[in-house]
């Protein structure tokens, strides 16, 4: 069997290679993203392994099919970038890693929130220059605040538990509420209206695309903090920027961005960013952006590699795979 890895970084190679080098599996790592131009690199492969910003649309699937690829293995939970129904019609199986480390993502969401509310990032920069002034660093307590959690799957539930540990009041919205959770489910509009902090933990679907938009700005509390560690397109970036500019939104903590594929995971420090919305968001003093790193822990990477290889082996052998996307 031969596997071709796309969009693979040093941390991917470090965790996958030790698990593959003593097997009969042939493998090749490419830094480039999978798209219509790079799909030819999969020639001779039985499986391709892709990540969140790889493009696996119909044209790419047609090329993969012509090259004889039978398996698309996602080393992530989300699969909105893969036309899995079309892949199935072409005889290509798609599998994912549904739960590599929900703790990693939930903890990162809280880290972003605390960094923002207590101005830790600004204090760090100041003290590096031996500026020990407290001017402009006033934050607010999380205790007693109402946090609205949108999406109560594995990650959402862990984030809820973290918030409860801070003594926060938790309300939630989910199209499919979970039983047994000691929280109050409300409508999406109610969550927007009542929350001091709103955190997104849901997948990107046709229904959830731009669920935070210009219309949402009229519903949220003035000064509400927005957190997104899920998928960028849940939030209309232009609406978010408008909310920041008009001070309707008090702060934004983003690990994902709607148009991140052209920038995230790459060193763009010597480049001109032609996405004006992203540039303006990053320039705002009350916006924190991390480059889709919420998943990036040693534990998560180990789980991703183990599960991904297991998925590929099972599908290649014609065995039942619990993580297949159908």
Catalytic residue set: 231, 260, 292
Place of tokens 């965790």: 15
> From CA 202, how far away is CA 218, in angstroms rounded?
22
Cβ atoms 25, 52 nearer than 8 A: no
SS3 of 175, please? coil
SS3 133: coil
**Angle CA 92–96–98, to nearest 5:** 155
Number of Cβ within a 10 Å radius of residue 269: 5
Are the C-beta atoms of 201 and 153 separated by less than 8 Å? yes
Tell me the pairing of strands 93-95 and 146-150.
Answer: unpaired
- Give the C-alpha separation, 174 to 214, whole Å: 21
């Amino acid at each position: 069997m031969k596997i071709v890895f796309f969009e693979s970084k040093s941390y991917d190679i470090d965790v996958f290679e030790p698990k593959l080098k003593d097997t009969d599996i042939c493998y090749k790592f490419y830094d480039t993203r999978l798209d219509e131009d790079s799909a030819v690199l999969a020639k001779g492969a039985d499986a391709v392994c892709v990540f969140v910003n790889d493009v696996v649309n119909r044209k790419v699937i047609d090329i993969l099919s012509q090259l004889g690829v039978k398996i698309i293995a996602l080393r992530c939970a989300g699969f909105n970038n893969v036309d899995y129904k079309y892949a199935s019609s072409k005889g290509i199986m798609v599998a994912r890693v549904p739960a590599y480390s929900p703790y990693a993502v939930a903890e990162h969401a809280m880290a972003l929130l605390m960094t923002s509310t207590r101005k830790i990032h600004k204090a760090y920069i100041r003290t590096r220059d031996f500026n020990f002034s407290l001017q402009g660093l006033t934050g607010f307590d999380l205790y007693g605040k109402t946090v609205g959690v949108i999406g109560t799957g594995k990650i959402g539930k862990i984030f809820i538990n973290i918030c409860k540990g801070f003594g926060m009041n938790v309300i939630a919205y989910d199209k499919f509420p979970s039983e047994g959770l000691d929280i109050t489910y409300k409508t999406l509009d109610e969550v927007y209206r009542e929350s001091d902090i709103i955190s997104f933990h849901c997948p990107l679907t046709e229904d959830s695309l731009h669920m935070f938009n210009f219309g949402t700005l009229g519903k949220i509390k003035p000064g509400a903090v927005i957190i997104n560690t899920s998928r960028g397109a849940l939030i209309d970036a232009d609406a978010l920027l408008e909310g920041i500019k008009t001070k309707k939104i008090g702060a934004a903590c983003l690990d994902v961005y709607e148009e991140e594929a052209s920038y995230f995971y790459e060193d763009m420090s010597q480049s001109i960013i032609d996405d004006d919305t992203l540039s303006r968001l990053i320039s705002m003093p009350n916006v924190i952006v991390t480059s889709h790193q919420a998943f990036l822990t040693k534990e998560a990477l180990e789980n991703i590699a183990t599960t991904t290889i297991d998925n590929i082996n099972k599908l290649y052998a014609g065995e039942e795979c619990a993580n297949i996307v159908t």
